[in-house]
Amino acid sequence: MTVAAAPGWTTKLDGRVRFYQLTELGVLIAGTEDSLYGIDGETGSVLWRRKGLRLDETDVAP
């Protein structure tokens, strides 16, 4: 039997998520084409945002 869980929260970002990593502290690090975000993993609240970085997943180590 397979059960699909509904997402606990959603957050609007400035573009499509290109990569993400959940830290040991429960912060979701997510990168779009233009920004890097720190998002509270429990609530979905944006904790911080750095704009104009032009990062890809190889630029960020877990």
What is the C-alpha to C-alpha distance for residues 62 and 23, in angstroms, rounded to an integer? 7
The predicted model scores a pTM of 0.78
Task: Provide the residue-wise pLDDT of the chain in tens; the chain has 62 residues.
Answer: 665 566 788 999 999 999 999 999 999 999 999 999 999 999 999 999 999 877 666 766 65
Break the chain into its structural domains and give their ranges.
19-53
Round the CA-based radius of gyration of the chain to a whole number and report it: 13
